[in-house]
Amino acid sequence: MRHDSRTLTALVTVLGMIALAITLGAQYKITVNKDRLINAQNEPQNWLLMNGDYGSQRYSKLTQINRSNVKDLRMVWALALGGMQDVGQNGPENEVNPLIDNGFMYATDGWGTVYKIDARTPNKGDFVWIADPGVSHQGNASRTRGIALWEDLVLANLPDGRVIAINRDNGEIVWDKMIAGKNEFGGRERFLTAPVVADGKMLIQNGAGDGGTRGWVAALDVRSGNELWRWYVVPKPGDPGSETWKDDHNAWKTGGGGVWQTGSYDPATNLYIFGTGNPYPIYDPQFRPGDNLYTNSAVALNVATGKLAWHFQYTPNDSWDYDEVGVHMLYDTTINGQRRQVVGHYGRNGFFYSLDRTNGKFIKAEKYVNDLNWTKGIDPKTGRPVDYNPQLDVQIYNPEARALRGDPMKRACPTWHGGVAHQPLAFNPVKSIAYGVGTEGCFSQTGAAVASRGKEGGIDQKASQPRKSTSDLYYGAVTAFDAVNHKVAAKAVTDIEIRSGVIATAGGLVFTALQDGWVVAYNDETLEELWRFNVGTPLKGAPVTYAIGPKQYLAVQSGGRHLHPVKYDKLENASYLFVFALN
């Protein structure tokens, strides 16, 4: 039997198109499951978690954009989002980046609206759907640090305390639960982190530790939104850690320990590892004598049970707002000739810490900020400040930098805003370099007594003394820290504080974004600046990178300036998604 060659060619073409359609269909319909999240770094074309992967390394294996050609990076498209309605003079706290899964972006804005964007066209982004959960602009602040993907859902925390799940195919809200509201003492709880799914559970956290509430982490059932467990940072009387609150007026009710950044997850041990905020009131340690566990700490919870596995406290009895809400990166590296499973953390108190992530034991710490005077250093055995005195209920540390009740203005370094706060960090696992962005400088404050309402708990604002404060030596910095030799490898200074975040790539680059509109690329070893582009609006979102086919892209989302800029940037707030690529 003879076959016409043209018929065979046509048949092969049709079969090829069918196979391609099946392949593309499978590619774009695949769900974000446990295996994909665990192996997220092996999908460099995507960006599946807010901090890049479960270890919060924010490292991309993409190499098309590299040191030699980054100078040719150009904006290829931009897309306006919402989120700037009724935000006030200072703008929203939208420190967020999009998620990318096989050519589709998922973004959110400060009022909780979620967007699905088709990013497969090289020079244009198109909305697939927009899901507006209807957050009231009265009594709520425009604020977000991101969303999560899980199977066929997009998961989001809302500024009004609700948590929602959205069908990622059609944008319909699947379930809607009020989780964070007023606590039993009248304080308003708020979400300040992106959710994350670990071990099939949605993990969320309350960040309003400075608003009269206790920070907490809770696990929800992903399919229903029902709460499975909750762990509080500040323990109630009788719970482990409560003995470190030695006051006589129920200071635990005052709140503290807010969680401001999504934690990291170790699938091997099923531990969720995150940082906790300062005790409250912030600047009067005599109101709350004791170490004030579990504030200012790294905490590991068993995801299955919500039980505390280990903790490490950085600054007991804090009085400088050195909360440790920042990212805790998980990686393996060699320290002192020994291979270690590490939690790496840029402490807000000015030190870079390495902890053992299996048990929380201290390994090493080294100063990374330029100016530091609140302590003489870190004890190499215990990890505590060398001037910490376990016999004291109120720590003294360096008395020249520690303003207690009745003290005049005293100058402390680093500033209460720095060095690195909650900004997303990055870690290059090939070069063992950790990158941090934040604020350098110092501040001064007077000692001021905060009055208690007595046994009922809480603060008597009218009877409290006024506190005075000023800031100086205030500027931004990008720091590269050698995690093996435990020392600063390089530092780049910026005129304005950095409130966004950082990403490292296998192309030998580090990217960050500035509040005065610049997207900047650096050499990942020397931090020599290689490229910058100004988008004309303040940037607080950390850059991310992804690929469509062979082409690599860089995306950054704008979202307002910080509440306390020292250098006014003279720019207007805007809610935009900007995308860059090579010519």
Q: Provide the residue-wise pLDDT of the chain in tens; the chain has 583 residues.
A: 344 444 444 443 333 433 433 333 434 457 999 999 999 999 999 999 999 999 999 999 999 999 999 999 999 999 999 888 887 655 677 889 999 999 999 999 999 999 999 999 999 999 999 999 999 998 888 888 999 999 999 999 999 999 999 999 999 999 999 999 887 777 899 999 999 999 999 999 999 999 889 999 999 999 999 999 999 999 999 999 999 999 999 999 998 999 999 999 999 999 999 999 999 999 999 999 999 999 999 999 999 999 999 999 999 999 999 999 999 999 999 999 999 999 999 999 999 999 999 999 999 999 999 999 999 999 999 999 999 999 999 999 999 999 999 999 999 999 998 899 999 999 999 999 999 999 999 999 999 999 999 888 889 999 999 999 998 888 999 999 999 999 999 999 998 889 999 999 999 999 999 989 999 999 999 999 999 999 999 999 999 999 999 999 999 999 877 766 556 667 888 899 999 999 8
Q: How far apart are CA 273 and CA 153, in angstroms?
A: 24
Residue with tokens 């960090």: 425
Instruction: Quickly tell me which residue has 């599946």 as its tokens.
Output: 48
CA distance 141 to 2: 74
Burial environment of residue 67 by CB neighbours within 10 A (0 to 12, 13 to 18, 19 or more): middle
Q: Residue 353 is encoded by which pair of tokens? A: 């810490």
Sort strands 576-582 and 73-80 into parallel, antiparallel or unpaired.
antiparallel
Helix, strand, or coil here: 143?
Answer: strand
The answer to whether the CB of 497 falls within 8 A of the CB of 566 is: yes
DSSP 407-456: ---EEESS-TT-BS-S---EEETTTTEEEEEEEEEEEEE---PPEE-GGG
* pLDDT reported for residue 565: 54
Give the other-Cβ count within 10 Å of 226's Cβ: 11
From CA 481, how far away is CA 351, in angstroms rounded? 11
List CB contacts of 437: < 8 A, sequence separation 6 or more: 420, 423, 425, 476, 477, 478, 479, 498, 500, 501, 502, 512
- CA 127, distance to chain mean position in Å, is 26
**Which pLDDT belongs to residue 534?**
96
Structural contact between residues 514 and 496, judged by C-beta atoms closer than 8 angstroms: yes
At residue 28, the pLDDT reads 45
Q: Whole-angstrom Cα distance, residue 150 to residue 166? A: 10
Indicate the residue type of 181. G
Block residue for tokens 């997850």: 265
Residue 218's nearest CA partner among 205, 208, 235 is: 205
Dihedral of CA atoms 392, 397, 403, 405 in degrees, nearest 10, equals 10
| Euclidean distance between CA atoms 159 and 153, whole angstroms | 19
Strand arrangement of the beta sheet that strand 73-80 belongs to: 73-80, 576-582, 551-557, 544-548
Plot region of 184 (φ>0 → left; ψ -120 to 50 → alpha; else → beta): alpha
Q: Quick one: pLDDT at residue 182? A: 81
d(CA 26, CA 47): 18
Q: Assess whether the previous peptide bond of 414 is cis (omega < 30° from 0).
A: yes
* SS3 state at 466: coil
